[in-house]
Each structure stands twice: as structure tokens, then as C-alpha cells.
Amino acid sequence: MPATDVEIERYKYPIGRFTRAAEYSSAEVAAFVDGIEALPVLMRQAVGGLDEAQLDTPYRPGGWTVRQVTHHVPDSHINAYVRMKLALTEPQPRILAYREELWALLADSDEPVGMSLSLLEALHRRWVCLLRSLDGDQWRRAYVHPELGVFPMQAAVALYDWHGRHHLAHVTELKRRQGWD
């Protein structure tokens, strides 16, 4: 039986859609950074032990495979890291969007997931080091996204904490539905 529209929406956004607050407390920002720090271990645990057929299973009808999701997360987070460094070193830089759906079709998205898990671990170590060094004024710095407008650092860290948990849930929810746990 094909999935219903409601099921597809739940599969697509297993933790809900990202909602941006106008402002974040320092405790919320610290929790977002903690989430970014924790993601590499959680992602490695989520895909660990999956065989090639499982890695090549889409997390939802018409969606990316677990392999593509695993490669996408460091692709996205590299972009986020660079965007944040630009925001910290230039006055409201205009950043580039990228076509993630096309990146997911490039040859490196067919490779073993271990290389992307290692990249995610190294990237997140550097990223968390940077984020934990920021002071109040730096958290208010921003970049300009061509589709989303002005994006302050606090909102960006909230978005990428959500992004990691969102894609992690794609994998863990698929495993639960398939009985792979």
C-alpha cells in the first residue's frame, strides 16, 4: 500500500519543520552547540552495521537513500561552517546557496559512508571549537542568504542543530519502520 500524504510529510520531517525564533537565550545556543557536537557519534551509531542494500534504501518514497543522507550532512555542514566563518570575518556577507539535490547525485555520494562519517567528525570538532569561542557580539553577526535573507549566527546554529537531528531521524525512523534495530 502506498504511503499517504500525511505519512510522507511525517517521513520527510520526522522531528517537525525548522522554526526560527526571533532571539535565542545563551542556554538555548549552548544546547544547539552541544547537539552539533553530539551528531557525528549519533550518525555513526545510526548507520553502523547497515549493509549495502540498507544503505541504498530511500528513507521515504521518492527520497534520498541512507547513503545519500549520510553524505549530505557533511556537505551541508561544510557550507554552514564556511558561512559562519564568513559572517565572523566580513560585514554581513552574501553567501551562495547550493543545489543540494544535485550534490546528492554526484559520484562521491555513491562512495562508502565511512569517509563522510570521518569528515563529519573532523568538521564538527573544528566547528564546535569555533562556536564555543564566540562572545555575545559575535553571536549577533550575520550572513545574507539569497533565499532566507539576513541570518544571524544564533539562528544559523539553531538551524544546523535541527538539520543534523532531522537527517539523523530519517535514518533512525527508517530503521524502526523496517525493523532493522
Is residue 71 assigned to a domain? Answer: yes
Is residue 11 assigned to a domain? Answer: no
Running along the chain, 181 residues long, what does each successive block of 10 average in pLDDT?
83 96 95 98 98 97 96 98 98 95 94 97 98 95 95 97 98 97 82
| Full domain range(s) for residue 85 | 25-176
CATH at residue 40: 1.20.120.450
Number of domains in the chain: 1
Is residue 5 assigned to a domain? Answer: no
Contact criterion met (CB below 8 Å) for 87 and 142: yes
DSSP state of 3: P
Residue 2 confidence (pLDDT): 76
Residue 43 confidence (pLDDT): 98
Residue 95 cell numbers, joined? 553567501
